[in-house]
Amino acid sequence: MVKIYITRHGQNEDNAQGILNGHRDLPLTVLGEAQARKLANEIRKVGFVFDTVYTSPLSRASRTAEVICEALDLNRPVVLDSLIERNFGIMTGKRIADIEKLCAPDIIKTDIITYFLSPEGAETFPDLLKRARRVLRQIQEQHSSGTILLSTHGDFGKMLYAAYYRLHWREILTKFHFGNCELLLLAEGISLDASRVVRIEQHNH
């Protein structure tokens, strides 16, 4: 059976400015590059070897994947368009601090993130979960064995986790925070703590 790891990209310029990026495509910050290198070093320490690295087409994810591949002497990452972040609709480019003002009561609040559920033009979490299931089916059909890394985004990464472990999308939003350059393992029969393979202290909303 194929073993799948997922990571979220390093900090990018929108993250640093508190802006909701969605499909906006600004590059990693200096800190984001450092986070990617730190993740690569942690992967090297534990001895993981990836047969294929797939990445979202957005530069914050693809650059994170490139840093990892370069550091570990792996083949270049393969762009998989369906790993792209959630379309934020009219919330794209808005300030994170304004989510509650603009979207309440149609929100879910956690200690770290306030999630908007269905502003105009945005992908809903049920839609995102369906896309995540399609991605996992595609990976499992193309790879009967081996170890795969997916470089993706916060909201979509959580839906990949929910799809794999057959969790409700609402449950996963409040279950844990998926920080920049954290590494999650998707494998049957393990706990949440065990699935969080690499954690990076610094994170962005």
- pLDDT at residue 188, rounded to an integer: 82
**What CATH class does 3-198 carry?**
alpha beta
Q: What is the pLDDT along the chain (205 residues), one digit of tens a residue?
A: 899 999 999 999 999 999 999 999 999 999 999 999 999 999 999 999 999 999 999 999 999 999 999 999 999 999 999 999 999 999 999 999 999 999 999 999 999 999 999 999 999 999 999 999 999 999 999 999 999 999 999 999 999 999 999 999 999 999 999 999 999 999 888 877 778 788 766 555 5
Question: pTM of the prediction?
Answer: 0.95
End-to-end CA distance of the chain: 33
Q: Are 65 and 151 in contact (CB under 8 A)?
A: yes
pLDDT of the residue at 1: 85
Active-site residue, selected from the candidate residues 85, 123, 153, 203: 85
Q: Give the three-class secondary structure for 96.
A: helix
Element (H, E) at 5: strand 3-8
Whether 201 is catalytic is: no
Residue 83 burial (10 A CB sphere; 0-12, 13-18, 19+) = buried
Amino acid at 118: S
The token duo for 40 is 């690569």
Instruction: List C-alpha distances in Å: 47 to 39, 40, 72, 204.
Output: 12, 10, 10, 27
Query: Which H or E run includes 33?
Result: helix 30-46
pLDDT at 192: 75
C-alpha distances out from residue 159 to 75, 125, 128, 170, Å:
27, 8, 7, 10
**Residue labelled with tokens 């962005």:** 204
- Return left, alpha or beta for 141; rule: phi > 0 is left, psi -120 to 50 is alpha, else beta: alpha
Say whether 141 is catalytic.
no
Compute the distance between CA of residue 64 and CA of residue 54 in angstroms, rounded to an integer.
11
